[in-house]
Amino acid sequence: MKIFLDANVLVSVLNKEYPLFTYSSRILSLASHSRFEVYTSPLCLAIAFYFAEKKHKTSAKHKIDLLCQHIKIAPNSSNGVSKALSNRSIHDFEDGLEYYAAEAVGCTCIITEDIADFYFSELEVLNCQAFFKRHLLN
């Protein structure tokens, strides 16, 4: 199963934000499980870096580097930019870019704590706890 992690999931892991960290760290650990391919985008990494740097200053870049060694990066392509701009149902450009990056690599689920941001999604959209309950406890 290919899953896409939104920036807020990455931030919760990098900054150890409880109580979400309990679930988000487990989901991130799926990158080493053969049943899952875990993706994010360059845009999500940039957002996560920004918030990690605010909290950790000098170690933020190192944390992003470690993260990138374990997950796959879905490209933010010019095609995705065009689709996000032309899709009239997408009001937040950033969410559109993330959605089309996930779609381009064949992800079937977007994991985010802001489910309402992906109201336009044809992919499954779950928060960390719901993903854990639906896909890992069965």
Residue 11: CATH number of its domain: 3.40.50.1010
Q: How far is the first Cα of the chain from the last one, in angstroms, to the nearest whole number? A: 14
Please tell me the predicted confidence (pLDDT) of residue 138.
Answer: 64
Q: Average pLDDT of 62-90?
A: 96
Residue matched to tokens 């990158």: 31
What is the DSSP annotation of 17-80? -TTTHHHHHHHHGGGGSTT-EEEE-HHHHHHHHHHHHHHHGGGHHHHHHHHHTTSEE----HHH
Structural domains counted in the chain: 1
Q: What confidence category does residue 136 fall into, taking pLDDT thresholds of 50, 70 and 90?
A: confident
Q: Average pLDDT of 16-30?
A: 94
Please tell me the predicted confidence (pLDDT) of residue 137.
Answer: 79
The overall average pLDDT reported for the chain is 95
Percent of the chain with pLDDT over 90: 93
Q: Average pLDDT of 38-57?
A: 93
Please tell me the predicted confidence (pLDDT) of residue 21.
Answer: 95
For 131, the 3-state DSSP assignment is helix
pTM across the whole model: 0.95
Q: What angle do CA 62, 118, 14 make, to 5 degrees?
A: 15
Domain that holds residue 35: 2-136
59 Cβ contact list (under 8 Å, min separation 6): 52
Please tell me the predicted confidence (pLDDT) of residue 111.
Answer: 98
Cα–Cα distance, 55 to 20 (Å, whole number)? 17
